[in-house]
């Protein structure tokens, strides 16, 4: 059972040292939010559970399920591409002070290492709450390899490996509403365990989130059931779970890494695929340069549009939260695929 250490105001006023103030400033917390010296993480003032989320999809679940009983901070600020995050001293301090950490192993190698070193008791890996699959780890689509460019796959294999989950699995589970709902249920159960006093609230909030994700799944299933084509081209292989869930074929310009450059052979191959499968749009994403997507689109005479992997919410996002951005993704797919 996690014990949240609440520090009385009077005690703080009398015993707070300069070293503790410095640590508090470094971590971006006020002195009343700093950890005490007992070890293992500290509860926030006011009785809230101090939660650290690795990046937006984890932050969303922590905030929606935790509600008013949690104080959530994220290691990946809006506008930062999460795959390439390097942790500084401030983020490391955040981890050490947490009551509860929620992350997704395989997305951010630097975060994985730091979380392991932090040793916080209530540390939850979202990848352990559902079943990971192997798709999108190499350049080429997710339902076979008849179009796969072996040389391009080999060229990017080493770079992509750093962004894969365990044993080469695809970590982008949040882009499948069904798998994301499974993760939500696990997060809810783990918050109940970490903070049993508020278990009823966590259960209620979990039910609400799952219902919202179930409705989103139904919208995708209905919206993509009858389309002129089932193939879409995107910047990197983030949408393998989504493609598999709704009977689509993802063709990526690069592999798992969003910054990988495609080979000339891959660009030529995409031109062939686009003509054969009647693809009219190349998708790019909000947190990565659209230069490669526009180059491929221009080479093949295609349009470009946004398909957001929802790794962060910024003023460029087509929605205020996960569900709204995914609804925008559905609209973009329906348009690009010729939904009837």
Q: Count of CB atoms within 10 A of residue 218's CB?
A: 11
Predicted confidence band of residue 43 (pLDDT cuts 50, 70, 90) = low
Residue 268 forms part of a structural domain: yes
Q: How far apart are CA 257 and CA 152, in angstroms?
A: 13
Instruction: Read off the pLDDT of each residue in 182-188 and give the average, rounded to a whole number.
Output: 98
Are 77 and 154 within one domain? Answer: no
Are 124 and 258 within one domain? Answer: no
The residue among 173, 86, 82, 108 whose CA lies nearest residue 136 is 173
Are 72 and 154 within one domain? Answer: no
Predicted confidence band of residue 300 (pLDDT cuts 50, 70, 90) = confident
Burial of 41 (0-12, 13-18, 19+ CB in 10 A): buried
Question: What is the span of the domain harbouring residue 86?
Answer: 9-132
Higher pLDDT, 80 or 163: 80
Q: How far apart are CA 239 and CA 9, in angstroms?
A: 48
Q: Which residue has the tokens 């970590």?
A: 171
The residue among 249, 199, 190 whose CA lies nearest residue 224 is 249
What pLDDT does 36 receive? Answer: 33
Q: Give me the CATH number covering residue 53.
A: 3.40.50.1980
Residue 301 DSSP one-character state:
T
* Residue 150: pLDDT over 90: no
What pLDDT does 253 receive? Answer: 87
Q: How many domains does the chain have?
A: 2
How open is the CA angle 102-104-109, to the nearest 5 degrees?
115
Higher pLDDT, 178 or 87: 178
Residue 2 forms part of a structural domain: no
* Residue 67: pLDDT over 90: yes
Would you state the structure tokens that stand for residue 48, as one six-digit string? 């809230």
Residue 164 DSSP one-character state:
-
Residue 56 forms part of a structural domain: yes
Residue 209 forms part of a structural domain: no
Rounded to a whole number of angstroms, the CA Rg of the chain reads 22
What pLDDT does 237 receive? Answer: 86
Predicted confidence band of residue 262 (pLDDT cuts 50, 70, 90) = confident
CA 95 to chain centre: 18
The residue among 66, 75, 73 whose CA lies nearest residue 30 is 73
The fraction of the chain above a pLDDT of 90, given in percent, is 59
Q: How far apart are CA 164 and CA 168, in angstroms?
A: 5
Residue 207 forms part of a structural domain: no
Are 243 and 286 within one domain? Answer: yes
What pLDDT does 166 receive? Answer: 56
* Residue 269: pLDDT over 80: yes
If you write DSSP's letter for every residue of 193-237 in order, what string do you get?
HH-GGGHHHHHHHHHHHHHHHHHHHHHHHHHTSSBS--EEEESSS
Q: How far apart are CA 282 and CA 297, in angstroms?
A: 6
Q: How far apart are CA 110 and CA 161, in angstroms?
A: 14
Would you state the structure tokens that stand for residue 52, as one six-digit string? 């650290």
Instruction: Read off the pLDDT of each residue in 314-335 and give the average, rounded to a whole number.
Output: 97
What pLDDT does 81 receive? Answer: 87
Q: How far apart are CA 177 and CA 220, in angstroms?
A: 9
CB 65 within 8 A of CB 193: no
Are 117 and 219 within one domain? Answer: no
Q: How far apart are CA 326 and CA 184, in angstroms?
A: 16
């Amino acid at each position: 059972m996690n014990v949240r250490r609440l520090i009385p105001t009077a005690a703080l006023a009398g015993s707070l040292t300069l070293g503790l103030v410095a640590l508090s400033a470094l971590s971006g917390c006020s002195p009343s939010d700093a950890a005490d010296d007992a070890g293992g993480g500290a509860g926030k003032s006011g009785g809230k559970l101090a939660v650290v989320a690795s990046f937006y999809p984890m932050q969303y679940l922590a905030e929606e399920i935790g509600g008013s009983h949690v104080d959530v901070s994220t290691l990946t600020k809006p506008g930062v591409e999460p795959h390439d995050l390097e942790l500084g001293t401030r983020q490391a301090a955040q981890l050490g002070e947490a009551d509860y950490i929620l992350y997704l192993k395989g997305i951010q190698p630097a975060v994985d290492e730091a979380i392991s070193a932090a040793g916080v008791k209530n540390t939850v890996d979202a990848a352990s709450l559902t079943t990971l699959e192997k798709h999108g780890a190499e350049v080429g689509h997710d339902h076979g390899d008849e179009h796969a460019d072996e040389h391009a796959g080999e060229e990017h294999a080493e770079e992509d490996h750093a962004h894969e989950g365990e044993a080469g699995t695809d970590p982008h589970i949040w882009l499948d509403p069904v798998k994301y709902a499974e993760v939500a249920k696990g997060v809810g159960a783990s918050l109940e365990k970490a903070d049993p006093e508020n278990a009823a609230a966590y259960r209620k909030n979990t039910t609400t989130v799952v219902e919202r994700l179930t409705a989103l799944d139904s919208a995708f299933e209905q919206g993509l059931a009858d389309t002129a084509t089932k193939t879409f081209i995107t910047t990197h292989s983030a949408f393998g779970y989504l493609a598999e869930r709704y009977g689509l074929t993802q063709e990526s310009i690069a592999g798992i890494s969003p910054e990988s450059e495609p080979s000339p052979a891959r660009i030529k191959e995409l031109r062939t695929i686009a003509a054969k499968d009647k693809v009219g749009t190349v998708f790019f994403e909000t947190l990565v340069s659209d230069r490669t997507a526009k180059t491929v689109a221009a080479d093949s005479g295609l349009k470009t549009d946004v398909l957001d992997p929802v790794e962060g919410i910024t003023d460029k996002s087509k929605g205020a939260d996960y569900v709204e951005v995914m609804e925008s993704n559905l609209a973009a797919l329906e348009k690009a695929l010729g939904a009837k």
